[in-house]
Amino acid sequence: MTFRDTIAAIATPPGIGGVGLIRVSGPAAEGIARRLFSPTPPGNFLSHHLYHGNIIDPTTGAILDEVLVAFLKEPRSYTGEDTLEINCHGGPLVLRTVLEEVLRAGARPAGRGEFTKRAFLNDRLDLTQAEAVLDIIAAKTRLGLAAAIDCLSGKLSEPIAAIRSEIIDLLAGIEAAIDFSEEDGVGETPESSHSQIQHIIDRIASLTATYRQGRIYREGIGVVIAGRPNVGKSSLLNRLLGEKRAIVTPVPGTTRDFIEETVDIGGIPVRLTDTAGLRPPENAIEREGVDLVWERLKTADAVLVLLDGSADLTADDRELLVKMISKPMLPVLNKSDLPPRLDEESLRGLLPEGTPPAIRISAKYGDGLDRLTAALRDLVLATPAEGASEAMIGHLHQKTALEKAAAGLVRARDGLQGGLPPELVALEVREALDAIGEITGRTTPEDVLDRIFANFCIGK
């Protein structure tokens, strides 16, 4: 796709730094470079070379900044267009000054994600790879970064392309049966088409099943630390964060509001929330805090139920355990540095089947923290990282498109079994093909594309 306009933006984050990058893309990029850039020493301005020199105000001849400049001739650039990259000194004023001169020279301000959108529209990236660019920028852990890099390298595009190719082959066979008679010797039998459809459905189901794990790597999970007052919730939060973030006192009710921080636990971004202690409230303020805890627990991905291992189970403990029966839950017995009193057999009787065994820790001294983080990781992650699929989907629209494709193929399979005319079967298969195309961007509606690229920062 050829764009008539040229876009420009500051591509580095706001603030002061050693270097700031201004990116320009479009047909006027080379002309802007030749108008504003004076290389040292003067000479030819070749593509894919880095040049030292000055950005000049063409009206006054004043030097605006000493820079390094690279011009990338299309199609060998990120966007697939002529691209200019100006490496300025990293101060906000100098970057704004140079950008203003670039805009006066013929560019317009770029919108959010517009460089990557042009790369997508120019077939430099498919939609899964374009979204992987954003995931790389937003990655919170090494595992999340590795998954995004895999996607950018095409590890998701490849199985999607293979599934799409199989659907095209299926559709070609069905349409051949429509166009030609059996006497012509063309067309597949319903039985062979049925097995072919089922094979594709199974492949789609396998890929769809990776969504939960892919989403966790990309977005992380929310884990609430819950328990009655003075069981050590704030101490545990501080210990997991490696810093004193929550106030710890022996006074019950010290924590009355949420304290939320993100920590890397085994490669998963975990949003830990310390909450007020759960007990019958003694005043209106504490009642409001307790009510908020129950609301927060409803939306949590998982709950660390913290119990005092040096004391007997209380009515408040039992109420919390009963109310959390439908949530992924990890019971944690704190204060292992004190003589144990809690009856673990009674505790097991209150837990639903499949709940992991209780972990004994000392939030005060850090004992058992490794076992706790490993157990928490196993609780929220469907499969270990070592057994993770090479290709994972992590975006909801990808999962939705796969489910739509599978539903169309199921209708096609059932239609063949029920004697549906091949013309109607072909319509269902075409719908599945369009749904698969939404993942890579072949058939994605424009409004969906706009929403995706609006999540990018300006300059990317």
Structure tokens, 163:
């599934």
End-to-end alpha carbon distance in the chain: 19
Residue 116 burial (CB count, 10 A): 22
All residue ranges of the chain with pLDDT < 70 are 1-2, 179-191, 243-258, 276-291, 382-389
Q: What is the pLDDT of residue 190?
A: 53
**3-state secondary structure (DSSP) of residue 301:** coil
Among 124, 13, 16, residue whose Cα is nearest residue 77? 124
Structure tokens, 386:
């070592």
**3-state secondary structure (DSSP) of residue 58:** coil
Beta pairing partners, 438: none
- Domain 7-110 indexed as CATH 3.30.565.10: no
CA angle 250, 256, 258 (to 5 degrees): 115
Q: What is the pLDDT of residue 387?
A: 44
pLDDT tens-digit series, residues 281-311: 555 555 666 667 777 777 788 888 899 989 9
Q: Which residues neighbour 408 within 8 Å (Cβ) at sequence distance 6 or greater? A: 428, 429, 431, 432, 435
Q: What is the pLDDT of residue 449?
A: 86
pLDDT tens-digit series, residues 136-169: 998 888 888 999 999 999 999 999 999 999 999 9
CA gap 22, 346 in Å, rounded: 64
Beta pairing partners, 333: 307, 360
Model confidence, pTM: 0.79
Q: Which residues neighbour 92 within 8 Å (Cβ) at sequence distance 6 or greater? A: 14, 15, 16
CA distances from 2 to 5, 25, 26, 82, 103 (A): 9, 12, 9, 11, 20
CA distances from 69 to 25, 34, 86, 101 (A): 14, 11, 5, 15
Task: Enumerate the H helices of 74-154 as residue ranges.
Answer: 92-104, 114-121, 127-138, 142-152
Is residue 30 a contact partner of residue 84, using CB atoms and an 8 Å limit?
A: yes
Is residue 22 a contact partner of residue 95, using CB atoms and an 8 Å limit?
A: yes
Q: What is the pLDDT of residue 103?
A: 97
Give yes or no on whether 7-110 and 129-210+393-453 have one common fold: no
Is residue 225 a contact partner of residue 306, using CB atoms and an 8 Å limit?
A: yes
Is residue 241 a contact partner of residue 191, using CB atoms and an 8 Å limit?
A: no
Give buried/exposed letters for 191-200 (b at 16+ CB in 10 A, else e): eebbebbeeb
CATH of span 219-386: 3.40.50.300
CA gap 93, 138 in Å, rounded: 27
From the options 3.40.50.300, 2.120.10.80, 1.20.120.430, 2.30.30.40, give the CATH code of 129-210+393-453.
1.20.120.430
Beta pairing partners, 273: 224, 260
Q: Where are the domains of the chain?
A: 7-110, 129-210+393-453, 219-386
What are the backbone angles phi and psi of residue 6, rounded to the nearest 5°?
-115, 135
CA gap 102, 97 in Å, rounded: 9
Give how far the C-alpha of residue 328 lies from the chain's centroid of Cα atoms, to the nearest Å.
22
CA gap 407, 243 in Å, rounded: 49
Give the DSSP letter of residue 356: P
Give buried/exposed letters for 292-318 (b at 16+ CB in 10 A, else e): ebeebbeebbbbbbbbbbbbebeebbe
Q: What is the pLDDT of residue 384?
A: 47
Q: What is the pLDDT of residue 226?
A: 85
Beta pairing partners, 302: 223
Three-state helix/strand/coil letters over 181-241: CHHHCCCCCHHHHHHHHHHHHHHHHHHHCCHHHHHHHHHCEEEEEECCCCCCHHHHHHHHH
Question: What DSSP line would sit under 385-403, residue for residue?
Answer: GGG--SS---SHHHHHHHH
CA gap 344, 323 in Å, rounded: 19
